[in-house]
Every structure is written in structure tokens, then in C-alpha cells.
Amino acid sequence: MSTHKMSTHKMSTRKMFMRKVLILTALAFPAAAAEAPRLGQPITEADIAPWAIDIAPDGKGLPAGSGNAAKGEEIYIEKCAGCHGFDGVGQPADALAGGRGTLGTAKALKTVGSFWPYATTVFDYTRRAMPLNNPQTLTNDEVYALTAYILKLNGIIGAKDSMNAKSLPRVKMPNRDGFVQIWPGNLK
């Protein structure tokens, strides 16, 4: 009791007030992290790796391995043509090839070749979600080969070009500059 009194004597009225304000502020607006139970368990990036299969547009995340269009065509005929058609013409699933020069017309055809802005997305999406009846079963070499085949079908790379962690991010997609970022604004 006397100790408490002494400390109040030592402290100026203004300091006391500020101290109260700080305590009250902390109670009214608790810093989220301070108030949360903090139940997240530490995990290393190495342990996350089996899930972290995403590929950034600069190629970050691309695995070792490689493949070209010739190899890709074999896999495509076996595992992809049933839905995407021979030569990527589509039906019943999306067309993967063709449509270049149609985007500004009334009959726009959006394909990997005519529309997709980044080649890395082809690798990422194929590896994580294709084929639909068995996603995430293709080897990295197979995904590189399929990516190469789809790019070759669109005339973006040559038949003998090898796709790998170095070459794939360097592929410039024909419609890259056709994309205009709106965020954080809005469309008129």
C-alpha cells in the first residue's frame, strides 16, 4: 500500500494519465497477435515442400527435369487428347492451341497460345490439376514435355526446344502485353 502511494507520488499526473490511456487502449484494441492463442506450430519450408508445388511467373519453384515436344506428344496422345482433342483443338475440354489474332474480333478464341500471358502457368496448372482423373501423378519430366508440346502446337517454341527450369520462364507468350492489371483500381 505504502509502496503504491510512493510510486504515485513519484509519477507526474500527466505520466499517470498516459499510462492509463495506454493500458485502456491495449484493452480496447488488443493487438491481434497478442490476444490470439497463438496455436500455430513452426514448420520448415522443407517440410512444406510436398505441398508447395506452385510456380511463380519468374520461374521460381520450377523443379529439375526437362522435356521436349516430341516426348510431350506421346504423353499427350495417351493422357490428354481424350478431352482436349488431337493437336489441342479442344472438345470436350478447352482448346489449347490456335486462336492467335482472334481476341479483338467477334469470334475470340482463348487458348494457351492466343491468351495465356505466362508459360509458367502451363507447367503449374498441368502439374497440379491434370489429368482430371489422376491429378499430381505426372513426373516433372512429363510436365516439361507436355508444356513443350503445347507451346510447340502454338508455334511459340520449336519442335526440338527443351523446356526446363531455365528455358521455360524465358518463353515470352504472344499475349503477355495484352493483360492490363486493374487492381487496386476498378474497371470503368
Which residues contact other proteins by CB under 8 A? 31-33, 35-45, 48, 51-52, 54-57, 83, 90-94, 103-105, 108, 110, 112, 115-118, 120-121, 124-125, 128-129, 132, 135-136, 175, 178-184, 186-188
DSSP state of 65: -
CB of 106 to other proteins, least distance (A): 8
Distance CA 58, CA 119 (A): 10
Least distance from other proteins to the Cβ atom of residue 109, Å: 11
- Residue type for position 43: I
Helix (H, G, I), strand (E, B) or coil at 91: coil
CB atoms within 10 A of CB 49: 9
Q: For residues 54 and 78, which CB has a smaller minimum distance to other proteins in the complex? A: 54
CB of 188 to other proteins, least distance (A): 6
Is the CB of 2 or the CB of 45 nearer to other proteins?
Answer: 45
Please tell me the total number of residues recorded for the chain in this structure. 188
Task: Report in angstroms how near the CB of residue 92 gets to other proteins at its nearest.
Answer: 5
Cell numbers at 177, concatenated: 502485353
Which of residues 16 and 52 has its CB atom nearest to other proteins in the complex? 52
For residues 101 and 158, which CB has a smaller minimum distance to other proteins in the complex? Answer: 101
151 SS3 class = helix
Query: Torsions phi, psi of 67, nearest 5?
Result: -170, 155
